[in-house]
Structure 1
Amino acid sequence: MSRAGSKMRMMNKMMEKVKHSKVMRTTIPAGMAGTHLGPTLGQRGINIAAFCKDFNTRTAHYIEGVPLPCRVKVRPDRSYELVIHNPPSTYFIKQAAGIQRGAMKAGQEVSGKITLKHVYEIAKIKQQDPPLHLTPLKQICELVIGSAHSCGVEVVKDLDPKEYGEFLMERSTVVEEQLAELKEKREAKLLRK
């Protein structure tokens, strides 16, 4: 018995306690900070109601539901510093392309198209984020182009609106077929369980 007890004490010493980092990284929809953040904020000792009110007032100028990456630095006195970044590049890319979702198989299908002007404008917005302040605009443009390719969005010099409208109509039927296929796979998976 004492042997098992000593082993347990040794195991407890070896195990590290869970330590929460001082900076919490999360994505919160604009104007919609609510109870889903409760456990995360509560573990760090932040007043949930005050945080939600602060976040919602600071994001009131955004369209409700726009995803916003946030960094919350928690101080020892349980106060916090909230840094709200601009929406992710993929959000802007999908908005510029006029699509709801990216390609299921990036590199094998094109889900939409954007122009180089779109890339430049997105890069100008993303340059305002604190991690990218000192990054050259050319490099940010390359990052945006990489994100576009990962979404299956093609970057072109010029875009004919009529031709692109027809492309989006064709693409909507492809998306509907893909969603139906995914639904069938999920149902088949549930039946197997």
Structure 2
Amino acid sequence: MAEVVEVLVPGGKATAGPPLGPSLGPLGINVKAVVDEINKKTATFNGMQVPVKIEVDAKKNFTISVGIPPTTALIKKEANIEKGSAEPNVKVAGNLPFEAAVRIANMKLEGMLSYELKTAVREVVGTCVSMGVTVDGKRAKDVLADIAAGKYDSVLVK
């Protein structure tokens, strides 16, 4: 029976320390080999927390599957900000291009509650509301209203 370890690691910068080392050590596998493989697979998500799943079978073989970082981490990267606003309705933390919201929605679509791109983009823009991030220079709530009114349908509905 396979053992499964699920952790959040910094993209491209995982180490044998916590949370990986203590979780993998008792399984009797080469922790350094696992860490090297994780770093290779998560290098494109540098600076973001990435969900990683490690499966170890009875013969001590391991397989690594890398998830998509949380929506907030993707928004921070695309908007080039360190963190969201402490006062989202008062202070603006950054600006996210609408095209980036569509890209993030496409990346996350499989794991979202939405079945369509339009609703997935609404989820991403909704996250911008709580982070204090504008979308194309407009308040995220206004962009949500525009999406609902169909102003972005040429981009979102295929």
The TM-score with structure 2 as length reference comes to: 0.67
Instruction: Give the C-alpha shift of residue 22 in structure 1.
Output: 4.3
The DSSP-based 3-state class of the residue aligned with 2:124 is: helix
1:151 aligns with 2:142: no
> Partners in 1 of 2:88 and 2:6 — Cα distance?
27
1:58 aligns with 2:41: yes
Equivalent residue letter for 1:136: E
- Residues 127-186 of structure 1: CA distance to partner in whole angstroms, max 9, x if unpaired? 3xx535x83222321221222222221234769xxxxxxxxxxxxxxxxxxxxxxxxxxx
Structure 2, gaps ≥5 residues long: 140-158
1:92 aligns with 2:67: no
Question: Structure 1's 109 and 157: CA in aligned 2 closer, same or farther, altered over 3 A?
Answer: closer
> Partners in 2 of 1:24 and 1:106 — Cα distance?
35
Instruction: Give the C-alpha shift of residue 38 in structure 1.
Output: 0.8
Q: Percent identity?
A: 30
Structure number with greater Rg is: 1
The TM-score with structure 1 as length reference comes to: 0.57
Aligned residue pairs total 135
1:4-153 alignment to 2 at 5 Å?
A: 22-36=3-17, 37-60=20-43, 62=44, 64-127=46-109, 131-132=111-112, 135-153=115-133
> Partners in 2 of 1:104 and 1:158 — Cα distance?
19
Structure 1, gaps ≥5 residues long: 1-20, 160-193
> Partners in 2 of 1:57 and 1:98 — Cα distance?
23
The Cα RMSD (Å) is 2.9
2:5, 2:54 within 8 Å by CA — same for their partners in 1?
A: yes
Question: Structure 1's 158 and 40: CA in aligned 2 closer, same or farther, altered over 3 A?
Answer: same
The residue aligned with 1:183 is none
The residue aligned with 1:176 is none
Instruction: Give the C-alpha shift of residue 76 in structure 1.
Output: 3.5
1:99, 1:111 within 8 Å by CA — same for their partners in 2?
A: yes
